[in-house]
């Protein structure tokens, strides 16, 4: 098989016996090549090359000004045995994977279930719960740091009016991460929309048939709803975990705004992880070592470790989802 | 268990009238309470954006005097018009370039079978899923060597060479164009560019609109990219990045910070209301069938 064989040609042309043994030579399709070439080039330049280069850099000492010096495994040895903050950064990221992801998915599922049952004005409710997901992440973080600020924030004012002394939220190491979970719940709209579509997709006949068979509500959820939702749930868990592994913007902006200092960037690291490294995530640590301290070699080693961890989830995803394989797609 | 209860089968189960009415009321009560909770943050932000700076230092929720001039003060404090312009350039040019490069690639991956297609598609999925921090250092070095850091170009130009997520999404839409149409055009002697332009693009217009909107929103909301490439050059900042630095750089006045927060939210929310249907369809497709 040279160059390209059309699906349609395969399907519609009855193959004469001669063709089975000796396929006719096909002209390369220049149109197809011209259509795909930019994307393939893009993959090579912005994905394959940097991936290989990251692995290469991880064995070197390298900054933009000096040359590249090969130092073997020393970056990895430092990473796993000496780096004073990498453990904290990895644990914080793990915290978001373990807490933020399930909390968001459960809330989105509950709301989708509620919306699936609301017949009237379902579009209105859907919009209300989806809207926060549209707010630019930086704006939503700035808004939440204000809402939860201990002095004049509306949340603590309202808590106080009912006799509760609110915590310091983004200014307390113990509360900063839970505060970001509340933000994550506020912006769970996209997951909710996906769940809602899946719920509305369950054929009604299945519920009717099972209720004729005497199934009660819980049994229907167990045997009809959950199996139908399984692929979507799986998808949202894996993409959620991958997103949590790279958790950066919300934590970085929250630290910057809550500390009242200029955010990272210029004079990198001023507020990073505030309060007390509680919001220092692994992705931020790559940024600090790479672009705050210009240790490109060491930051690459950190990136390679992230690559290995994320790959596990990417592979799980690729294995499970058959539709990703073009030969199986319609 | 509450989650399960919410997911319960249709309301038409055999039940007493009184009971189903009770269920209806409690469900709608829950919806109303939750809706208030979800809208409250924006309302409080908006109220605070209109307070005087003295009032923001007191324990109050509603502005005593509605000081609309706060919104003008944002423009006086920072080069907001320029930042909005940068965001618009970033978002619009990324989207246009992405469509030019990704629509044809998605067509090939959806409609033409060839050796290596599953490898390319697999690479696109992996590129889409892997965290950007994995590849960020060599890519940054590349742009630094081209002396293009300090501008938004390192974030715009790659769109000329396709965007993995957009190709994926567009392909899923193109798969829904029935084969009979493309086959018929091919019988009539149309080439691939003609089939794409005359048949697939018109039929997949909602999908292309969704991919374009996602790309626009992604650029408008981006923080990590501008942090990486523009942080040292304030004249190149987009609004999202400018907002993140605002409070640290300009004191603790919540009222003006909240005014700027509202200003950053408004364009995306407006765009959403114009294109709500397209948007919801697009999100659904990203999550349901892969």
* Predicted confidence (pLDDT) per residue in B30-70, tens digit: 999 999 999 999 999 999 999 988 888 787 888 888 889 99
Query: Domain check: are B127 and B241 in the same one?
Result: yes
Q: Which domain holds residue B18?
A: 2-72
Query: Domain check: are B64 and B95 in the same one?
Result: no
Query: Domain check: are B91 and B229 in the same one?
Result: yes
Question: Is A230 at the interface with chain B, CB within 8 A?
Answer: no
Query: Domain check: are B33 and B85 in the same one?
Result: no
- What's the structural domain count of chain B? 2
Locate A72 and state its tokens. Answer: 């073997």
Q: Is the per-residue pLDDT at B13 higher than 60?
A: no
User: Which of B182, B191, B247 lies nearest to residue A260, judging by beta carbons?
Assistant: B247
Question: What one-character DSSP code corresponds to residue B16?
Answer: -
Q: pLDDT digit string (tens) for B218-271?
A: 999 999 999 999 998 999 999 999 999 888 777 668 899 999 999 999 998 888
Query: Domain check: are B57 and B84 in the same one?
Result: no
Between positions 75 and 134 of A, the ones with CB within 8 A of B are: 106, 109-111, 113-118, 125-132, 134
| B254/B262 Cα distance (integer angstroms) | 12
Q: What number of other Cβ atoms are within 10 A of residue B115's Cβ?
A: 11
Q: Please identify, among B20, B50, B72, the residue that sits at the C-terminal boundary of a domain.
A: B72
Question: Is B35 at the interface with chain A, CB within 8 A?
Answer: yes
Query: Domain check: are B39 and B58 in the same one?
Result: yes
CB B263 within 8 A of CB A135: no
Q: Which residues of B touch A142 (CB under 8 A)?
A: 243-244, 246-247, 257, 261
Query: Domain check: are B158 and B49 in the same one?
Result: no
What CA–CA distances, in Å, run from A107 to A189, A259, B33, B215, B286? 10, 29, 15, 27, 19
Q: Which residues of B touch A199 (CB under 8 A)?
A: 7
| B129/B225 Cα distance (integer angstroms) | 17
Tell the burial category of B40 from Cβ atoms under 10 Å away from its Cβ (0-12, 13-18, 19+).
Answer: middle
Q: Where are the domains of chain A?
A: 83-292
Query: For residue B119, what is the domain's CATH number?
Result: 1.10.3720.10
Task: Kindly report whether the global pTM for this prediction surpasses the value 0.90.
Answer: no
pLDDT averaged over 10-residue windows placed end to end, chain A, 330 residues: 40 44 60 94 96 96 86 95 94 97 95 85 86 94 94 91 93 96 95 90 83 82 84 91 96 90 52 90 95 92 96 87 46
Query: Domain check: are B105 and B211 in the same one?
Result: yes
Q: What number of other Cβ atoms are within 10 A of residue A76's Cβ?
A: 16
C-alpha angle A265/A269/A273, rounded to 5°?
A: 115
Shortest distance, CA A306 to any CA of chain B (angstroms):
7
Shortest distance, CA B33 to any CA of chain A (angstroms):
12
User: Which of B9, B57, B261 lies nearest to residue A220, judging by beta carbons?
Assistant: B9
Tell the burial category of A278 from Cβ atoms under 10 Å away from its Cβ (0-12, 13-18, 19+).
Answer: buried
3-state secondary structure A67-87: CEEECCCHHHHHHHHCCCCHH
Q: Which residues face B113 on adjacent strands?
A: A5
> Which CATH number fits the domain A83-292, given the four candidates 3.40.800.10, 1.20.1440.230, 1.10.3720.10, 3.40.50.1820?
1.10.3720.10
Q: Considering only CA atoms, which of B106, B129, B140, B92 is closest in space to residue A40? A: B106
Chain-centre distance for alpha carbon A185 = 14
Predicted complex ipTM exceeds 0.90: no
Question: Is A181 at the interface with chain B, CB within 8 A?
Answer: no
Terminal alpha carbon distance of chain B: 29
Q: Considering only CA atoms, which of B99, B96, B93, B87 is closest in space to residue B220? A: B87
Q: With CB atoms and an 8 Å threshold, state whether B41 touches A39.
A: no
Q: With CB atoms and an 8 Å threshold, state whether B136 touches A286.
A: yes
Question: Is A23 at the interface with chain B, CB within 8 A?
Answer: no
In terms of pLDDT, which residue wins out, B178 or A327?
A: B178
Query: Domain check: are B88 and B30 in the same one?
Result: no
User: Which of A12, A106, A264 lies nearest to residue B183, judging by beta carbons?
Assistant: A12
- Determine the residue of chain B that is closest to A260 in CA distance: B248
Q: Which residues of B touch A201 (CB under 8 A)?
A: 288
Q: pLDDT digit string (tens) for B188-210?
A: 989 999 999 999 999 988 889 98
Query: Domain check: are B53 and B103 in the same one?
Result: no
């Amino acid at each position: 098989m040279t160059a390209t064989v059309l699906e349609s040609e395969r399907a519609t042309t009855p193959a004469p016996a001669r063709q089975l043994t000796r396929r006719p030579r096909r002209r390369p399709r220049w149109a197809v090549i011209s259509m795909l070439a930019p994307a393939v080039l893009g993959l090579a330049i912005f994905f394959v090359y940097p991936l290989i280069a990251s692995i290469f850099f991880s064995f070197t000492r390298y900054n933009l000004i000096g040359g590249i010096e090969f130092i073997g495994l020393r970056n990895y040895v430092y990473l796993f045995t000496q780096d004073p903050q990498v453990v904290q950064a990895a644990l914080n990221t793990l915290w978001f994977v373990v807490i933020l992801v399930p909390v968001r998915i459960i809330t989105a599922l509950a709301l989708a279930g509620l919306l699936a049952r609301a017949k009237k004005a379902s579009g209105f409710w859907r919009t209300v719960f989806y809207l926060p997901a549209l707010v630019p992440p930086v704006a939503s973080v700035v808004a939440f740091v204000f809402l939860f600020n201990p002095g004049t924030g509306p949340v603590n004012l309202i808590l106080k009016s009912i006799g509760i002394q609110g915590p310091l939220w983004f200014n307390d190491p113990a509360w900063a991460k839970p505060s970001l979970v509340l933000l994550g719940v506020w912006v769970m709209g996209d997951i909710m929309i996906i769940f809602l579509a899946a719920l509305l997709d369950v054929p009604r006949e299945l519920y009717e048939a099972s209720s004729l068979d005497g199934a009660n509500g819980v049994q229907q959820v167990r045997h009809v709803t959950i199996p139908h939702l399984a692929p979507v749930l799986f998808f949202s868990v894996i993409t959620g975990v991958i997103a949590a592994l790279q958790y950066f913007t919300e934590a970085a902006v929250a630290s910057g705004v809550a500390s009242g200092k200029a955010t990272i960037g210029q004079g990198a690291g001023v507020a990073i992880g505030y309060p007390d490294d509680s919001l220092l995530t692994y992705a931020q640590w790559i940024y600090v070592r790479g672009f705050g301290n210009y240790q490109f070699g060491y930051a690459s080693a950190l990136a390679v470790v992230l690559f290995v961890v994320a790959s596990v989830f990417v592979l799980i995803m690729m294995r499970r989802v058959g539709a990703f394989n073009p030969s199986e797609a319609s | 268990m509450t989650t399960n209860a919410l997911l319960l089968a249709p309301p038409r189960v055999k039940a007493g009238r009184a009971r189903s009415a009770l269920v209806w009321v409690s469900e709608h009560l829950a919806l109303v309470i939750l809706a208030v909770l979800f809208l409250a943050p924006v309302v409080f932000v908006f109220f605070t954006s209109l307070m005087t700076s003295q009032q923001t230092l007191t324990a109050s929720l509603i502005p005593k005097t509605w000081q609309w001039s706060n919104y003008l003060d944002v423009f006086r404090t920072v080069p907001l018009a320029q930042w909005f312009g940068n965001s618009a350039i970033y978002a619009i040019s990324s989207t246009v370039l992405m469509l030019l490069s990704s629509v044809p690639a998605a067509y090939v991956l959806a409609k033409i079978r060839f050796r290596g297609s599953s490898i390319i598609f697999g690479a696109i999925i992996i590129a889409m899923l892997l965290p950007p921090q994995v590849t960020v250092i060599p890519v940054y070095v590349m742009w630094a060597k081209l002396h293009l850091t300090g501008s938004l170009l390192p974030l715009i130009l790659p769109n000329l060479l396709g965007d993995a997520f957009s190709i994926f999404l567009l392909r899923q839409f193109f798969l829904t164009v029935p084969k009979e149409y493309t086959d018929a055009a091919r019988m009539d002697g149309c080439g691939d560019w003609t089939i794409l332009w005359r048949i697939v693009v018109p039929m997949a217009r909602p999908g292309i609109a969704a991919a374009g909107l996602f790309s626009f929103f992604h650029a408008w909301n981006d923080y990590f990219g501008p942090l990486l490439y523009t942080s040292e050059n304030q004249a190149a900042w987009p609004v999202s990045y400018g907002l993140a630095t605002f409070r640290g750089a300009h004191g603790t006045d919540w009222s003006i910070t909240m005014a700027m927060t509202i200003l950053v939210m408004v364009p995306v929310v407006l765009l959403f209301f114009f294109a709500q249907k397209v948007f919801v369809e697009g999100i659904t497709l990203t999550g349901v069938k892969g």
